[in-house]
Chain A
């Protein structure tokens, strides 16, 4: 009896120590990235090419899926809105609903999900493979700080990509809504733009961009962190990639809720 209690306590203690250690490491990682980020922004940029490629892979290559998703979502929202809201005598709210759903909510979170699923795994896998192949050590041996050279451009690249993809998501989403509403409501383009323009606030755009920026940083940091947690074996790579994505998703949802709460306070 006493033995099993001791064992339980021992395991609990070991687990707590492990968790605390992981947390401290993650915080330290974040601080180091922030430090190198400042050096990157205000100093030399040997990793500029890494940044360009990251935007290419994360942003440009995700554009098609973002476009398809947002076009269809915008269409669905406007069709539902046009069929539901007039029943309450609130047809003019359709535009408000579009702005709230696409610009404030779905734009940032869905682009973040897409990027986390596509590039989060890619980044974690790539860095994990580099660790196993000792490429990271080769950087250190050459005098290149892997955080500055590998992590910082990815953080910037992913963040910029998420922000820009969100812009495209908005454009395509609102365009999809326009095209879908034409056969039923027959709204002229300029009228549609005018109605949207009356509802949309700069605050919405800024809030949307801010959310995207935060999401981008989360995706990049979590993915890089998990990628670099790979130690020796190639079997660790998929494990860490899965962990990176699931952790990204949880963090994105929680942070999104928090940011939305702050927006309405």
Chain B
């Protein structure tokens, strides 16, 4: 005690100085890690929405942070202009045809912008240039032209979210076409009693052609869906863990339905109500799928996040309608 009192000034001085040194060390470590003193280059990109985009958001390439979002602003022509700063060390990664993909985590954390480098080995893109967004027309065109390295590096939820709407839109489109087709078929069958025979044959021919193309489409669609569904079903998969049985069930339903379509290809011209029932079923499954995705987007951790869907009053009730 005496020692402490006598040397209080020295002890307190040491206490204060050590703390200050530690703070200084902290700040230096921060400065080094966050590369405060490194030269940075600015680029910009254009998005349709600022959702998920905040200043400070990391820009990463193959899992390494190479820069960050400086600012997000709404321009006069209603696009969202995002200014990025890329550190000097990584400037050569920004090549021509590079595309930026927004990775939003449904948990609302840990998102970021992924850089997909252009395939051309060329000069780095000069600063102040545009790096197109993944979903923008230019981005899509670059990807379709095969000019972008599209290494999958986002997390599973993101990839699914990216791909699922496209697939579902295709399925929806296919089923709509199928329905139209089958309505035509029904009309033709109805016309059977009165219409001339050559017409019927011609129509039946046309119908078969159209139906065949439809089935080819849905078949390939089903193939696309299968790995996706497998991925989703994997017990350790994050999506299953988060969303639970709903998504699994819905996708199972899609798959089963499309399987039915395939099976039915043999006697497509046979019974119209069966095809109609099938199509109703598939559309139902697709809508459930949409609802689940909506739920994921809204709040993946709450199971009640999917809104109840109103069943249309004039829905299909069974394979055998009343007239049978």
Contact = CB atoms under 8 A, between A and B. Distances in A.
B296 to A, nearest CB: 14
B34 interface: yes
Nearest to A55: B12
Interface in A181-216: 193-194, 196-198, 200-202, 205
B302 interface: no
B65 interface: yes
B65 A198 contact: yes
B9 interface: yes
A150 interface: no
Interface in B28-54: 29-30, 32-34
Interface stretch (B15-23, B128-136, B191-199, B315-323): B15-23
Contact of A198 (B12, B23, B33, B156): B33
Given A52-B8, A53-B8, A205-B26, A93 B33 contact: no
B33 A167 contact: no
A92 B110 contact: yes
A160 B241 CA distance: 48
A61 to B, nearest CB: 8
Nearest to A202: B30
Nearest to A167: B19
A239 interface: no
A122 B148 CA distance: 68
Contacts of B238: 88-89
Contacts of A164: 15-16, 19
B23 A56 contact: no
13 contacts: A52-B12, A56-B8, A60-B15, A89-B238, A164-B16, A164-B19, A193-B29, A194-B33, A196-B33, A197-B29, A197-B33, A198-B33, A202-B27
Contacts of A53: 5, 8
A179 interface: no
A205 B27 contact: yes
Interface of A: 52-53, 55-56, 59-60, 63, 87-90, 92-93, 96, 160, 164, 167-168, 170-171, 193-194, 196-198, 200-202, 205
Interface residues of B, number: 27
Contact of B4 (A56, A90, A92, A205): A56
A197 B109 contact: no
Interface of B: 4-5, 8-9, 11-12, 15-16, 19, 22-23, 26-27, 29-30, 32-34, 65, 105, 107, 109-110, 155-156, 238, 241
Contact of B22 (A93, A96, A168): A168
A111 to B, nearest CB: 12
The 6 closest A-B pairs by CB, nearest first: A197-B33, A164-B19, A167-B19, A55-B12, A56-B8, A197-B29
Contacts of B22: 167-168, 171
Contacts of A196: 29, 33
B237 to A, nearest CB: 10
A88 B15 contact: no
Nearest to A157: B12
A202 B30 CA distance: 8
A90 B109 contact: yes
A90 B112 CA distance: 13
A117 B275 CA distance: 77
A52 B65 CA distance: 46
Contacts of B30: 197, 200-202, 205
Contacts of A52: 8-9, 12
Contacts of B5: 53
Contacts of A59: 12, 15
A123 B246 CA distance: 61
A89 B155 contact: yes
Q: Which interface residue of B19, B32, B107 has the most chain A CB atoms within 10 A?
A: B19
Given A167-B22, A197-B32, A56 B12 contact: yes
A120 B30 CA distance: 34
Contacts of A167: 19, 22-23
A90 B106 CA distance: 12
Q: Which interface residue of A88, A96, A170, A193 has the most chain B CB atoms within 10 A?
A: A88
Given A88-B107, A89-B238, A202-B27, A56 B11 contact: yes
